[in-house]
Amino acid sequence: MTGQIAIVLALLVVALLLFSFERIPIEVVSILLVMALVITNTLTAGEAFAGFGNDIVITIAGLFILTGGLAKTGVIDLVGRRLHRTAGDSEFRIVMLIMFAAALCAAVMKNTTTTAMFLPVVLGIAARRNISPSKLLMPLAFGAILGGTCTLIGTSTNLAVSGALPRYGIQPFTMFELTRVGVVIVAVGMFYMLLVGIRLLPKKTPAESLTEQYHVRQYMTEVIVLDDSPLIDKSLAEARIGDELDLTVLGILRGEERRIAPNPREQIKANDLLLVQGRVEDILKVKGEAGIEIKADFELNDSVLESKETELFEAMVPRGSDFIGRTLKRLDLRKRYGVVVLAIDRHGVDLLSKISRVRMRFGDVLLMQANRDHVERLAADGQVLLLEEISEKRARPEKRKWALLAFGVFLFFSLTHLVPLPIAVLLGVMILLASQSVRMSEVYEIIDWRLLILIACMISFGLAMERTRADQYLADLIVKGTGQYGPIAVLAGFFVMTVALTQPMSNQAAALVMLPIAVKTAASLGLNPRTFAITVTYAASCSFLTPLEPACVLVYTPGRYRFLDFVKVGALLTVAVFAIVIWLVPRFWPLQP
């Protein structure tokens, strides 16, 4: 092992650890990685950042905009409403339709996007049919992941691997090259979920109300403003209840009048009942304050927190939201959007105490008290994913034909190869922008920049592995350890290693790390590198073992799953996909070149 190989492998280990801990954003880790390659003289600055000039980055960015056009014009909502009408009451039929629709949509758009689009629809079906969401949401996520294996554009992982292949003298994937095995994977995956997986899924009995579900009772109470209180005739802002007592006033009850989510200028009167939220210890401080006291017989339910103008909503923090990494105090949602966050559910753990200081994470579910227009504006801005169907007025149905035309133009040119794939994507994007199906101001919000940065940096890291021959070093170790067991065993080993890597890190990063090693191993054994590249691609796209896959993160909290639920249901599905890939890939892409 040379010094340069040791440096590259050491950086790889550090990157894997940082990806696993998630203390530093994944895009920051990626940039630090390429910076380290320059500092250690492994790559020049031009080589380290050359990944950002790769045409695959343009292709993926354009696909974000194309699929964003389908979402903005309500095409996916249309599919969702059809699901409502055709699902019926049979749980078996509902699961089958959900998985089929998710797989179909995920074949042409990211599986995470598909899951996010269908999540409110599936929750609506669960409520209408009185089915536990836990019986439907995991099949939704798994259906979307399975569908992503069917086409070149099904996942950004497929595109990332395809874009990296020319560096090794291998032709990129064609649009439907992966379909032959992908369709079998979808069929077997659906068969498994309908016959076996659905029986392994937990049945979670939903709480009677949101206040009960989030256990907010002990963090809320009513306090009475006594006749001699110094708060009388002061506005809520002047009373400084939040600053002095660390409590949030959620409502004022004055005789028969109820003012939920009151204006800070609202004046306090004698005998007002103030509905306040805060930590138990802060609520108990009220006993020592002059002029107010806790109401002893307070009973909390959803109706206490709602009025004609104000409702309770559940909303999830999606990828790309400005909420991620920021606290509620810093976001100041009450002032900016008229929204009050009552509780945070993080993978089944209800966060209520001092939630103003909690840093938001992807997948957090917020219990919000707000006016519907205000919370839908938050959802339309892409800051939250509302866990119920947003009113149709937010979509642009009159632009639907243009969005479909744009996608059709892209598919036509990508299939006929009349123009390169990036140009085919950009032609579709131009149609969207010219027709105002997607506005220019929305383009930068639609693109997942963190993913583009990750892919660009990992392409450069692949170049570093090739330049230092670290990929050949690892390939030689693998050949030495497994070569005597035959090519199928080596192929199976790469599938297992790739699946293992997708657990702590992103699918795209795992695929781009394993790709050069797999290609060099195939070359060392005199086998077909394309066979190994395709195996790595399928393995990276099939992450069912844990809820760490982004599509699974989206359903984790709304489905009230436990970590082991994914292990129990996903392990057998992973084994089934493994068997299909190892059986079919060498038949369609022979091991001997």
**Residues 434-461 pLDDT 10s:** 998 888 878 887 888 888 888 888 888 8
Instruction: Check: CB of residue 312 under 8 Å from CB of residue 302.
Output: yes
The reported pLDDT for the residue numbered 534 is 95
The type of residue at 339 is V
Q: How many residues does the chain have?
A: 593
What's the pLDDT band for 216 if we cut at 50, 70, 90? Answer: low
**Residues 79-90 pLDDT 10s:** 766 766 676 667
Decide which of 121 and 200 is more confident. Answer: 200
Decide which of 589 and 290 is more confident. Answer: 589
Average pLDDT rounded to a whole number, residues 142-149: 93
The reported pLDDT for the residue numbered 53 is 83
CB count within 10 Å of CB 320 equals: 18
Closest CA to 220 of 275, 289, 297: 275
Torsional sign, CA 324, 329, 332, 338: positive
The reported pLDDT for the residue numbered 563 is 83
Domain with CATH 3.30.70.1450 in the chain: 217-299, 311-394
* Cβ neighbours for 538, distance < 8 A, ≥ 6 positions apart: 149, 178, 181, 182, 185, 495, 577, 581, 585
What's the pLDDT band for 573 if we cut at 50, 70, 90? Answer: very high
| 90-94, 102-106, 309-313: range with lowest mean pLDDT | 309-313
Average pLDDT rounded to a whole number, residues 207-220: 54
The DSSP result for 41-65, as a single string, is TSS-HHHHTGGGG-HHHHHHHHHHH
Average pLDDT rounded to a whole number, residues 201-222: 60
- Res 585 pLDDT > 60: yes
User: Angle, nearest 10°, between helix axes 111-129 and 137-147?
Assistant: 150
Decide which of 257 and 567 is more confident. Answer: 567
- Mean pLDDT of the residues in the chain: 81
With a pLDDT cut of 90, the percent of the chain lying above it is 19
**Residues 301-339 pLDDT 10s:** 555 566 667 777 888 888 778 888 888 778 878 777 778
Q: How far apart are CA 363 and CA 288, in angstroms?
A: 39
- Res 146 pLDDT > 90: yes
- Res 131 pLDDT > 90: no
Multiple choice CATH, 217-299, 3.40.50.150, 3.30.70.1450, 3.40.50.10140, 2.60.120.10: 3.30.70.1450
With a pLDDT cut of 70, the percent of the chain lying above it is 84
- Res 526 pLDDT > 50: yes
What's the pLDDT band for 589 if we cut at 50, 70, 90? Answer: very high
For domain 311-394, the CATH architecture is 2-Layer Sandwich (3.30)
The reported pLDDT for the residue numbered 211 is 54
Dihedral pair phi/psi, residue 448, rounded to 5°: -85, 90
**Residues 33-74 pLDDT 10s:** 999 999 998 889 888 888 888 888 888 888 888 888 887 787
- Res 295 pLDDT > 50: yes
| 19-28, 222-231, 239-248, 409-418: range with lowest mean pLDDT | 239-248
Instruction: Check: CB of residue 157 under 8 Å from CB of residue 511.
Output: yes
Decide which of 266 and 279 is more confident. Answer: 266
The reported pLDDT for the residue numbered 430 is 94
What's the pLDDT band for 495 if we cut at 50, 70, 90? Answer: very high
* Cβ neighbours for 122, distance < 8 A, ≥ 6 positions apart: 98, 133, 136, 137, 140
Instruction: Check: CB of residue 368 under 8 Å from CB of residue 386.
Output: no
The reported pLDDT for the residue numbered 393 is 46
Average pLDDT rounded to a whole number, residues 504-524: 87
The reported pLDDT for the residue numbered 367 is 81
